[in-house]
Copies of this chain bind each other. A is one copy, B any other.
Amino acid sequence: MPVERVGVSFEPELLQKFDALIKKMGYTNRSEAIRDLIRKEIVESAIKQEECEVIGTLTIMYDHHEGNILEKLIHLEHQHNDEISFTTHIHIDAHNCLEIIILRGNNKQVKQLAEHVRSLKGVKHGDLSITTLSI
Protein backbone atom coordinates (compact mmCIF):
# COMPACT_ATOMS: atom_id res chain seq x y z
CA MET A 1 0.00 0.00 0.00
CA PRO A 2 1.41 3.41 -0.91
CA VAL A 3 1.87 5.78 2.00
CA GLU A 4 1.99 9.54 2.16
CA ARG A 5 4.40 11.39 4.40
CA VAL A 6 3.44 14.51 6.30
CA GLY A 7 5.98 16.70 8.05
CA VAL A 8 5.06 18.18 11.42
CA SER A 9 7.15 20.87 13.10
CA PHE A 10 7.48 20.94 16.88
CA GLU A 11 8.97 23.22 19.47
CA PRO A 12 11.58 21.02 21.18
CA GLU A 13 9.80 21.29 24.54
CA LEU A 14 6.52 19.94 23.16
CA LEU A 15 8.32 17.10 21.41
CA GLN A 16 10.06 16.17 24.66
CA LYS A 17 6.76 15.99 26.52
CA PHE A 18 5.21 13.97 23.74
CA ASP A 19 8.09 11.50 23.72
CA ALA A 20 7.78 11.04 27.49
CA LEU A 21 4.04 10.47 27.23
CA ILE A 22 4.09 7.92 24.42
CA LYS A 23 6.97 6.02 26.01
CA LYS A 24 4.82 5.64 29.12
CA MET A 25 1.92 4.48 26.95
CA GLY A 26 4.05 1.80 25.32
CA TYR A 27 4.68 3.25 21.86
CA THR A 28 8.02 2.63 20.23
CA ASN A 29 7.63 5.18 17.45
CA ARG A 30 6.08 8.62 17.11
CA SER A 31 4.46 7.97 13.75
CA GLU A 32 2.27 5.19 15.14
CA ALA A 33 1.36 7.27 18.20
CA ILE A 34 0.32 10.21 16.03
CA ARG A 35 -1.75 7.99 13.75
CA ASP A 36 -3.50 6.52 16.78
CA LEU A 37 -4.30 9.99 18.15
CA ILE A 38 -5.76 10.89 14.78
CA ARG A 39 -7.84 7.71 14.59
CA LYS A 40 -9.13 8.35 18.10
CA GLU A 41 -10.22 11.86 17.09
CA ILE A 42 -11.90 10.57 13.93
CA VAL A 43 -13.80 7.92 15.91
CA GLU A 44 -14.80 10.42 18.60
CA SER A 45 -16.06 12.82 15.98
CA ALA A 46 -17.94 10.09 14.07
CA ILE A 47 -19.73 8.71 17.11
CA LYS A 48 -21.14 12.10 17.96
CA GLN A 49 -23.42 11.69 14.93
CA GLU A 50 -26.73 10.09 15.83
CA GLU A 51 -26.92 8.21 12.55
CA CYS A 52 -23.42 6.79 12.57
CA GLU A 53 -23.14 3.00 12.36
CA VAL A 54 -21.48 1.91 15.58
CA ILE A 55 -20.40 -1.05 17.61
CA GLY A 56 -21.21 -0.75 21.29
CA THR A 57 -19.75 -2.85 24.07
CA LEU A 58 -22.11 -2.78 27.01
CA THR A 59 -20.65 -4.10 30.25
CA ILE A 60 -23.26 -4.72 32.89
CA MET A 61 -22.95 -5.99 36.41
CA TYR A 62 -26.01 -7.68 37.80
CA ASP A 63 -27.24 -9.80 40.64
CA HIS A 64 -28.60 -13.02 39.22
CA HIS A 65 -30.63 -13.64 42.38
CA GLU A 66 -32.61 -10.51 41.73
CA GLY A 67 -35.96 -11.04 40.04
CA ASN A 68 -35.98 -12.74 36.70
CA ILE A 69 -33.22 -10.66 35.24
CA LEU A 70 -31.81 -13.50 33.15
CA GLU A 71 -35.12 -14.12 31.47
CA LYS A 72 -35.62 -10.43 30.81
CA LEU A 73 -32.15 -10.12 29.33
CA ILE A 74 -32.65 -13.11 27.07
CA HIS A 75 -36.04 -11.79 26.04
CA LEU A 76 -34.52 -8.40 25.18
CA GLU A 77 -31.68 -10.04 23.30
CA HIS A 78 -34.05 -11.99 21.12
CA GLN A 79 -36.25 -8.98 20.47
CA HIS A 80 -33.19 -7.04 19.33
CA ASN A 81 -31.66 -9.79 17.32
CA ASP A 82 -30.44 -7.37 14.66
CA GLU A 83 -28.59 -5.13 17.07
CA ILE A 84 -27.24 -7.68 19.54
CA SER A 85 -24.62 -9.68 17.77
CA PHE A 86 -23.02 -11.37 20.73
CA THR A 87 -23.21 -11.72 24.48
CA THR A 88 -20.95 -13.34 26.98
CA HIS A 89 -21.21 -13.94 30.65
CA ILE A 90 -18.64 -14.00 33.43
CA HIS A 91 -19.32 -15.43 36.83
CA ILE A 92 -17.85 -13.03 39.37
CA ASP A 93 -18.91 -14.19 42.81
CA ALA A 94 -21.87 -15.81 44.54
CA HIS A 95 -24.14 -12.91 43.60
CA ASN A 96 -22.58 -10.90 40.81
CA CYS A 97 -22.38 -11.57 37.10
CA LEU A 98 -20.68 -9.51 34.47
CA GLU A 99 -22.30 -9.62 31.08
CA ILE A 100 -20.73 -8.19 27.96
CA ILE A 101 -23.22 -7.41 25.23
CA ILE A 102 -21.98 -6.40 21.79
CA LEU A 103 -24.45 -4.17 20.00
CA ARG A 104 -24.33 -3.24 16.31
CA GLY A 105 -26.55 -0.66 14.71
CA ASN A 106 -27.00 3.03 14.46
CA ASN A 107 -25.74 5.15 17.28
CA LYS A 108 -29.12 6.24 18.56
CA GLN A 109 -30.62 2.74 18.61
CA VAL A 110 -27.56 1.27 20.29
CA LYS A 111 -27.63 3.91 23.04
CA GLN A 112 -31.36 3.46 23.62
CA LEU A 113 -31.01 -0.28 23.86
CA ALA A 114 -28.13 0.11 26.31
CA GLU A 115 -30.23 2.41 28.47
CA HIS A 116 -33.06 -0.06 28.38
CA VAL A 117 -30.82 -2.89 29.59
CA ARG A 118 -29.39 -0.69 32.34
CA SER A 119 -32.89 0.17 33.52
CA LEU A 120 -33.75 -3.47 34.26
CA LYS A 121 -34.19 -4.18 37.94
CA GLY A 122 -31.20 -6.20 39.15
CA VAL A 123 -28.74 -4.50 36.80
CA LYS A 124 -26.56 -2.61 39.25
CA HIS A 125 -24.32 -0.77 36.88
CA GLY A 126 -23.69 -0.56 33.19
CA ASP A 127 -21.16 1.17 31.04
CA LEU A 128 -21.36 1.54 27.29
CA SER A 129 -18.31 1.94 25.14
CA ILE A 130 -18.82 2.99 21.54
CA THR A 131 -16.61 2.59 18.52
CA THR A 132 -17.13 2.63 14.78
CA LEU A 133 -16.03 0.40 11.95
CA SER A 134 -15.31 3.25 9.60
CA ILE A 135 -11.73 3.70 10.67
Contact = CB atoms under 8 A, between A and B. Distances in A.
Category for how many chain A residues contact B? 35 or more
A125 B46 CA distance: 13
Contacts of A33: 119
The A contact surface, by secondary structure, is mixed
Contacts of A127: 57, 129-131
A27 B9 CA distance: 16
Given A6-B8, A59-B131, A102-B98, A37 B26 contact: no
Contact of A9 (B5, B39, B119, B128): B5
23 contacts: A4-B10, A4-B15, A5-B9, A8-B31, A18-B41, A22-B119, A25-B118, A25-B119, A26-B119, A27-B119, A32-B119, A34-B34, A36-B124, A36-B125, A37-B41, A40-B125, A43-B125, A57-B57, A59-B129, A93-B133, A100-B100, A124-B135, A127-B130
